[in-house]
Amino acid sequence: MASPLLLNALKVLNNNKFSRVILVVGYLREQIKEVIGDAYQNMKIEYAVNSIYSKTNTSYSLELGLEKITGENEVYIFEGDVMFEEKLLEDLIQFPEENVTVLEKYSNMLDGTFVTLDDKNRITAWTHKSKRPVGYTLTDKYKTVNIHKFTGRFVEDTLKPYVKQIAAQSNGTEPLETVMDKIVRDKKMPDWIDYLKVRASWAKVGNDTDPYKLAYAYSKYGSLVNGGTILEMQLPDELPLSDLKPESTNSYEAGLEWRMFQNRLGIDFTYYQSATTDQILAINTPVPSGYTSKLINAGKIRSKGYELTVTGTPILTKDWKWDITLNWGLNRTECIELGGGIKRYTLGSTSIASVVINEGGKYGDIVATNAYQRDANGNILIGDDGLPLTETDKVIGNMLPKWTGSIGTGLQWEKICLLML
């Protein structure tokens, strides 16, 4: 049957509004399920079964439990034989640091797994009771309480692969402490690197058009004549193209994620480039053709740019947390060629200006119908008649911004959070 320790843990989790709990069960698993039943209506309880519990250790059980976890922001891990009070869990939830293990300073009443800390309270070694080397001292160590809080990113990128590796190498006989010890030894980095990730990707996607634009298709409508309805059919105004091809976009991206100083400062940088070919364009046709426009495949558009996000936490205490996020982005889109004998494609126009794509120019250039002529200093030129000189078909700007940016901040006091953008 379920022990009082397990029932206490479930009660504390339920009181702290945990919505989902995964229990790894083996010995007496059916009795445990029966005792727990559906007593926790607001907390979904799922079971992972360790059918070889008598031959395996906690690394294997943890692997089974982690298989059911994906996409979580935070993951809390408890061993089932731990008695703890609600206040401890509340403090752990509110504790501002990421990836935290609950510890207790050594006393002669404690035994089991101990850890070694550096001067910044970071764990540098986990030592299981069965693996203490000769001369190992306890008075300067801390005892693990077997309660942990991890970010979803740490679980996916680090914990899952290490658990899977250790469990496979040992046939599941190693404890969780072996996994954690290997992580801290392998992942030991200088203060200015808490997390470092380099990424790159390539993709090719297509963009099709309405299938009815590939062939002649009648449309019907009704006309009211002398109280009755006459059904009429008409051809489209747009000339279809039977061999129209889909647009194709090749895109490349490379980036860097870097967090440092105990995750107090973070940088996320991305460079991207894409090229779109065979764009589907509707161009005007001569009136005698009977159509107002026709579809063609033409052009090659290239975009490239940078994105930078900087996050910082200037204040981080038990009760207070202040975050700042800065975003900056730059994009440049240009038309390499239009093709099909087209040198300009109009995206939209008014009586005073048009937004166009010029072959060899930038995407979204604004062309004025009549623009003032200016000298090198930007002064308007005046003609002999005393009126400003004008010129036609002049690019006066672009519909796309030169760069984009934003700043956001968040201030949190205990469980109260204020966000500003």
Instruction: For residue range 153-201, list pLDDT tens digits in order.
Output: 899 999 999 999 999 999 999 988 899 999 888 876 666 777 888 999 9
Among 188, 222, 243, where does a domain finish?
188
Closest C-alpha among 15, 23, 10 to residue 69: 23
Report pLDDT for 128. Answer: 83
CB 336 within 8 A of CB 370: no
Scored b (16 or more CB within 10 A) or e, 31-63 reads ebeeebeeeeeebebebbebeebeebbbbbbbb
393 occurs within a structural domain: no
pLDDT of 226 higher than 50: yes
CATH of the domain at 127: 3.90.550.10
Position 417 scores a pLDDT of 82
Residue 7 has pLDDT above 80, yes or no: yes
Work out the average pLDDT over 53-63: 93
Residue at 243 is within a domain: yes
Q: Max Cα separation, the chain?
A: 108
pLDDT of 2 > 60? The answer is no
Residue of 344, 278, 332, 340 lying closest to 302 (CA atoms): 332
Domain interval for residue 132? 4-188
Separation CA 115–CA 148 (nearest Å): 14
CA dist 94 to 76, 144, 417, Å?
13, 19, 12
Check whether residue 202 and residue 106 sit in a common domain: no
pLDDT of residue 233: 63
Between 130 and 367, residue with greater pLDDT: 367
Tokens of 159: 């914990």
From 188, 216, 232, the end of a domain falls on 188
Cα gap 9→85, rounded to integer Å? 9
Residues in Cβ contact with 347 at an 8 Å cutoff, skipping those fewer than 6 apart: 354, 355, 356, 357, 364
Does residue 290 carry a pLDDT above 80? no
Whether 310 and 178 map to the same domain: the answer is no
215 and 236 inside one domain: yes
Mean pLDDT of all residues in 225-235: 64
Number of structural domains found in the chain: 2
Q: Does some domain include residue 391?
A: no
Q: What pLDDT score does 418 carry?
A: 81
Residue scoring higher pLDDT (239 or 136): 136
- Establish if 380 belongs to a structural domain: no
pTM: 0.55
267 falls within a domain: yes
Question: What pLDDT, on the 0 to 100 scale, is given for residue 222?
Answer: 62
Q: Cα angle at 285 between 279 and 287, to 5 degrees?
A: 165
What is the rounded average pLDDT of the residues 293-310? 87
Measure Cα distances from 343 to 238, 276, 358, 371 in Å: 21, 17, 6, 21
Q: Determine which of 110-114, 182-186, 212-216 has the lowest per-residue pLDDT on average.
A: 212-216
Helix (H) / strand (E) containing 186: helix 176-186
Residue where a domain stops, chosen among 188, 216, 247: 188
Looking at the structure, tell me whether residues 99 and 246 fall in a common domain.
Answer: no
Whole-number mean pLDDT of the chain? 85
Residue 170 sits in the same domain as residue 214: no
Cβ atoms 399, 355 nearer than 8 A: yes
Co-location of 158 and 207 in the same domain: no
Q: Are residues 337 and 408 in the same domain?
A: yes
CATH number at residue 308: 2.40.170.20
- The answer to whether residue 367 sits within a structural domain is no
pLDDT at residue 1 in the model: 46
Average the pLDDT over each of 205-209, 308-312, 381-385 and give the range with the smallest value. 205-209
The confidence band for 238, taking pLDDT boundaries of 50, 70 and 90, is: confident
Q: Is residue 244 located within the same domain as residue 320?
A: yes
Q: How many whole angstroms separate alpha carbon 62 and alpha carbon 146? A: 12
- 229 and 289 part of one domain: yes
- Say yes or no: 176 and 212 in one domain: no
pLDDT over threshold 60, residue 50: yes
18 lies in the same domain as 96: yes
Give residue-wise pLDDT tens across range 32-46: 898 888 888 889 999
Residue 389: inside a domain: no
Mean pLDDT confidence for 5-20: 89
Give dist(CA 346, CA 354) in Å, integer.
Answer: 7
C-alpha to C-alpha distance for 249 and 273, rounded to whole angstroms:
10
**Which residues share a beta bridge with 365?**
356, 398
Indicate whether 381 belongs to any domain: no
* Helix H or strand E segment including 298: strand 293-316
> What proportion of the chain, given as a percentage, has pLDDT over 90?
33
pLDDT band at 234 (very low <50, low <70, confident <90, very high): low
Chain segment 302-322, per-residue pLDDT in tens:
999 999 999 999 998 878 889
- 108 and 137, same domain (yes or no): yes
CA distances from 76 to 33, 60, 166, 367 (A): 21, 17, 20, 59
Please tell me the distance from the alpha carbon of residue 337 to that of residue 102, in angstroms, as a whole number.
Answer: 62
